Structure 1
Amino acid sequence: MVGKTVKTKGVVTAIRKVRADTFFFVQDAAGDNDPTTSDAVVVVSKSRDIKVGDSVSVEGQVTETTEAPNHLSVTTISPAIIIKTGTAGLPSPVVIGQGGRSPVTEAIAGRDPERSGIPFFETLEGMLVTVEDAGVVGPTNKFGEMWVVGDHGAHATGMNSYGGITSTPGDSNPERIQVQFDKTLVDPTNYQLKVGDRLASVTGVLNYSFGNYEIIATTAGSVTSATLPSSPPLESGPQFVTVGSYNVENLDPKNEDLAKVYDKDEIDDDVGKGRFAKIAEHIVNSLGSPDVMALQEIQDNDGAEVSDVIAADETLKTLTAAIKAAGGRDYKWIDMPPVDDEEGGQPGGNIRCAILYDDAKAKPDLSSVGRITDPSFEATRLPLVARFAVGDKHLTVIDVHLSSKGGSDPLFGKVQPPKDGTLSKRTEQARAIKTFVRTLPDQNDPVIIVGDFNTLWFEEPLQVLTGGTPAFENLTLRDAPLERFSYVFEGNSQALDHALISAGASTSADFRTFHVNSVYPEEQQMSDHDPKVVRLRLSN
């Protein structure tokens, strides 16, 4: 059918303008009573004076449009002529959930719409649908998107105690549905929702965009706000050492100059927005001011400005001052600046790992401070290493930020199973870290590897790090499988941040993740990652 001129008719259920294009969702009000085929089509036209509820005739060319080579295509009639022939009531929306079409809960790829997510949603493409008692599993982001499951997750697999849905081996949760709020249809300002919140209902047309099926909302019901669980900090004391980890997401003290950045979207004012103060509150009040604090994504002093600046002393000075002002420790820091523009991240930002420490409790052996180098870390942050004396005991901390998963295939895409774009690279990075650990002079000292691994708990890089000699325990695995998360990506709760401890010391360790960011709307987040703390009773 692609390239052929066709004629059809139906009722306009929604109209959406995106840049220069106007998209009309046209549905056969009667339908064909075949649940394996859609009763609607997306029409791209410059026709004017067409409104929702108009009966129309359509003539135009069939196309399959796609936004990227690894994305699915959407059948459209484009270009097209639309002519109004009358008015009609809108067809009843198809219920996705109880009392309607039950979404698939485990497999994404396949041919059977009763067993696989992609063909299930394809049968509803362009149609008017509704989700009742929509539980928010992915908070509202800056694009006005959120992710929900129907019936408050009653029939979903993988629901966690926060009301989110957790990615586990073999289950990427195809039942979660992206909802797109467009201010011309439903203003997202009124729907800045967190994980666990509930919408009485959301109705709209089913579309596919940027690697996800989505409901473009035309109406949304009332909101019930959730009360989320919280955890107290792990108490410290003379018999313990506590080590925290926090990806602070491109933190810098500079409100960038437009003339010195590649794009205006790179400009941010972390001081003016209160990010330093709020992150400091997290470290003090939620994490309990750990003795040692491993940080990731510390930027240089002028942030995203393109310059020769690589020092981050002003960034770290601003953060440590904010921590002290919040009632926390008087931290000192360890920082080894990267070579300019060679370790990835936001252009100009020179992100790196840095370590804060309270030298009244943990004294670094400065001769031990260094970074792990290996060809696998090309365009990636090098791990930062420091050995600390705590009384007459010793502890080595390795602060990591492995390669991003950026560039991977979308879950709802052409490539099945989706390819993780940097899995092999992160696996080699894990091997390099493990090789380095074998060179440490005292193999009896406990070692903690913490940070942003950009790796799910069941993926190969973490198997490399925890297996073999010396053995490590991933403390993430002490949480129940559905509670293992530090990040929410497209509605999937997942663990990217971990704490690994050498096996000989693991029996003396406690561990806790603090969900202060990932479950909240993006406008309320101080970072897209949640911090963690390990408490260790040292014994050599």
Structure 2
Amino acid sequence: MSFRIIAKRLAISVTFATMLPVMNAAQAAQSLTIPQIQGAGSTSSFVGRTVKTRGVVTLVRKVRGDTILYVQDTVGDNDANTSDAISVSVNSPGDIKPGDLVDVEGQVTEVASGANNLSVTSISPAIVKKGGQVTLPAPIVIDEGGRLPPTQAIAGATSRTGIGFFESLEGMRVEIRNAVVTGPTNDHGELWVVGDDGRHATGMNSYGGITATPGDLNPERVQIQLEKPFVDPAAYQLKVGDKIPSVAGVIDYSFGNFELVATNAAAAIPAIYPSTSPLESGPDFLTVGSYNVENLDPKKEVLALVYDKKEIDDDIGDGRFKNIAEHIVSVLGAPDIMALQEIQDNDGAEISDIVAADVTLKTLATAIRDAGGPTYKWIDVPPKDDEEGGQPGGNIRVAFLYQPAKAETIAGKTIRIEDPSFAATRLPLAVSFRIGGKVATVVNVHWSSKGGSDPLYGTVQPPRDGTVAKRSEQARAVQAFLRTLPVEEPVIVVGDFNTFWYEEPLQVLTGGLPAFENLTLRDQAAERFSYNFEGNAQALDHALVSSNASARAEFRTFHVNSLFPEAQQMSDHDPKVVRLRLQN
């Protein structure tokens, strides 16, 4: 869900410095090398002290309005546990440029970009004097031929964990060779890679990405920050699996992640994906698709009616309705039933009393028909205004499209599953359909998001999932409803669970009675994904089938979004399709 990512960024956008002791202005500055200032720990032991040091400027950059010099010791201390570089904040850089040898005097600080974020050792404020030009230090190669990053543990002070490894390179020049993209370029100019074509990485999938699995959140991923005037993000709108023969820059930390601020990069080599065919329906089958369509609405919002201009979008003008319709028809094979998540009301993010989504659903149904698909009917039970979470004013909900020639709704069998655990979250919608002489129930869910969870590279270790307990209660509520259904009729539960396949909420739902199989588990562990977050492929969308029918079920995930740059995505989720044979 892109809204929670935006909210996370907004929440930590203010820079602050750690509290410092009041120093005697007459205290003499202590002369130290940069490695001595950095030390082997995550924070400097000289915080609050005034120091003098010397190094070569490797990069001059604006960071949230401040001018930052990245200064590296020309020799280093040959200790892999200490960084040889430091960031220096100056009021005015003058004509200082990379390659300048500089003398720096100022106070050592630890600067964090938000709550629960790690700090960056800095000299701020600083007085900088030039002393000639020198050759830049050779970059440290990350991966083969240099330093191999850890592949499993995130937390820990040593260089064999993700935090320790990147802390030891803080501010230094580095290079990644044969980088393969694991997280596509987003709208902030960020992408994620692993080096050496992923040969030393664990969890690589068949598309060139890297997948989160139990106990392994892939610290070998490196975030690349692309920005003008160094490397133009527009020239590197890359998808998962694309390769960059070489990318170099300096290591920094921002928004809960270490990052390589790229100063140069080779031309990318595009990946080619295998084709995926749809699961076709027919008289002997029922096909059920599931698609989180990410805040879909037919209205370009009026500025005066939204909280912020960033809430304005034009899903029709941007082609989202058209392209999502083409996904449903040409990629998914026009399933008999489509379970949709994040359908917004008719005026989108505008703050109003409108909760109906009939225009939204009609617009999508018309786009599907125009794309050569069937004429779908829709099912929508509107929520109460501003009660179920999501983008302010949007009233997102789950809804259905269905082909009336194949499936009929049954009177009294369209039910919203209510429970206190769904407060401020979308209520699941269960609909029983008659298909020929058979009855099948489809439950469409959109559980609480992981928004508000701690960053992987943060001060709280292990990171806390802020809503896992709530999602477990939502799983129990859905399970209680499932127990009310006739045991002989097949049931399919689909949607955006916001839960990995190995986490407690899904274990609750599949581990009790009635028994269900999570079809996601039929794929190899590295292939279980429908979403990409910070370069980690992960499964948030699932398809569960009751045990009385799971032997007759097939499923497929269609990677039409998560692999591609954010600017090209129609949603941040990939859709799935379940095909159920109606007869034994």
| Distance (Å, rounded) in 2 between the aligned partners of 1:111 and 1:64 | 16
| Distance (Å, rounded) in 1 between the aligned partners of 2:518 and 2:284 | 23
- Amino acid across the alignment from 2:521: L
Residue 99, structure 1, aligned to residue 116, structure 2: no
Aligned to 2:216: 171
Work out whether residues 561 and 569 of structure 2, in 8 Å CA contact, stay in contact via their aligned partners in 1. Answer: yes
Partner SS state of residue 549, structure 2 = helix
Q: Superposed, which structure 2 residues align to 1:248-397 within 5 Å? A: 248-397=293-442
Partner SS state of residue 394, structure 1 = strand
List per-residue Cα deviations over 1:166-211 (Å, max 9, x = no partner).
0000100000000000122111000000000000111000001111
Q: Superposed, which structure 2 residues align to 1:58-457 within 5 Å? A: 58-114=104-160, 116-440=161-485, 442-457=486-501
Aligned to 1:471: 515
- Amino acid across the alignment from 1:481: A
- Amino acid across the alignment from 1:69: A
Deviates more, 1:243-252 or 1:58-67: 58-67
Work out whether residues 139 and 520 of structure 1, in 8 Å CA contact, stay in contact via their aligned partners in 2. Answer: yes
Partner SS state of residue 393, structure 2 = coil
- Amino acid across the alignment from 1:10: G
Partner SS state of residue 548, structure 2 = helix
- Amino acid across the alignment from 1:61: Q
| Distance (Å, rounded) in 2 between the aligned partners of 1:377 and 1:510 | 30
Aligned to 1:49: 95
Residue 461, structure 1, aligned to residue 505, structure 2: yes
Equivalent of 2:559, from 510, 515, 537?
515
Work out whether residues 212 and 536 of structure 2, in 8 Å CA contact, stay in contact via their aligned partners in 1. Answer: yes
Work out whether residues 408 and 418 of structure 1, in 8 Å CA contact, stay in contact via their aligned partners in 2. Answer: yes
List per-residue Cα deviations over 1:373-411 (Å, max 9, x = no partner).
000001000001100000000100000000000000011
Deviation at residue 20 of structure 1 after TM alignment: 2.2
Aligned to 1:34: 79
- Amino acid across the alignment from 2:422: F
| Distance (Å, rounded) in 1 between the aligned partners of 2:118 and 2:157 | 14
- Amino acid across the alignment from 1:368: K
Aligned to 1:484: 528
Deviation at residue 112 of structure 1 after TM alignment: 2.2
| Distance (Å, rounded) in 1 between the aligned partners of 2:515 and 2:142 | 47
Aligned to 1:20: 65
Deviation at residue 228 of structure 1 after TM alignment: 1.2
Deviation at residue 111 of structure 1 after TM alignment: 2.7
| Distance (Å, rounded) in 2 between the aligned partners of 1:421 and 1:167 | 18
TM-score normalised by L of structure 1: 0.99
- Which runs of 5 or more residues in structure 2 are unaligned? 1-45
Deviation at residue 366 of structure 1 after TM alignment: 3.0
Deviation at residue 29 of structure 1 after TM alignment: 1.3
Partner SS state of residue 376, structure 1 = helix
Partner SS state of residue 262, structure 2 = strand
Deviation at residue 222 of structure 1 after TM alignment: 1.5
Partner SS state of residue 504, structure 1 = coil
Deviation at residue 68 of structure 1 after TM alignment: 1.9
Partner SS state of residue 55, structure 1 = strand
Deviation at residue 19 of structure 1 after TM alignment: 3.5
Work out whether residues 284 and 583 of structure 2, in 8 Å CA contact, stay in contact via their aligned partners in 1. Answer: no
> Root-mean-square deviation (CA), in Å?
0.8
| Distance (Å, rounded) in 1 between the aligned partners of 2:404 and 2:310 | 39
| Distance (Å, rounded) in 2 between the aligned partners of 1:160 and 1:384 | 33
Partner SS state of residue 508, structure 2 = helix
| Distance (Å, rounded) in 1 between the aligned partners of 2:115 and 2:343 | 34
- Amino acid across the alignment from 1:472: F
TM-score normalised by L of structure 2: 0.91
Work out whether residues 366 and 386 of structure 1, in 8 Å CA contact, stay in contact via their aligned partners in 2. Answer: no
Deviation at residue 539 of structure 1 after TM alignment: 3.9
Residue 530, structure 1, aligned to residue 574, structure 2: yes
Deviation at residue 418 of structure 1 after TM alignment: 0.6
Work out whether residues 165 and 493 of structure 1, in 8 Å CA contact, stay in contact via their aligned partners in 2. Answer: yes
| Distance (Å, rounded) in 1 between the aligned partners of 2:391 and 2:305 | 13
Partner SS state of residue 179, structure 1 = strand
| Distance (Å, rounded) in 2 between the aligned partners of 1:350 and 1:160 | 36
Aligned to 1:497: 541
- Amino acid across the alignment from 1:176: R
Off by >6 Å, runs of 4+ in structure 1: none
Aligned to 2:15: none
| Distance (Å, rounded) in 1 between the aligned partners of 2:69 and 2:54 | 12
Partner SS state of residue 300, structure 1 = coil
- Amino acid across the alignment from 1:462: L
- Amino acid across the alignment from 1:196: G
Deviation at residue 235 of structure 1 after TM alignment: 1.3
Deviation at residue 468 of structure 1 after TM alignment: 1.3
Deviates more, 1:76-85 or 1:141-150: 76-85
Partner SS state of residue 161, structure 1 = coil
| Distance (Å, rounded) in 1 between the aligned partners of 2:411 and 2:520 | 30
| Distance (Å, rounded) in 2 between the aligned partners of 1:46 and 1:126 | 19
| Distance (Å, rounded) in 2 between the aligned partners of 1:229 and 1:465 | 33
Work out whether residues 182 and 193 of structure 2, in 8 Å CA contact, stay in contact via their aligned partners in 1. Answer: yes
Partner SS state of residue 216, structure 1 = strand
Work out whether residues 181 and 243 of structure 2, in 8 Å CA contact, stay in contact via their aligned partners in 1. Answer: yes
- Amino acid across the alignment from 1:84: K
Work out whether residues 378 and 401 of structure 2, in 8 Å CA contact, stay in contact via their aligned partners in 1. Answer: yes
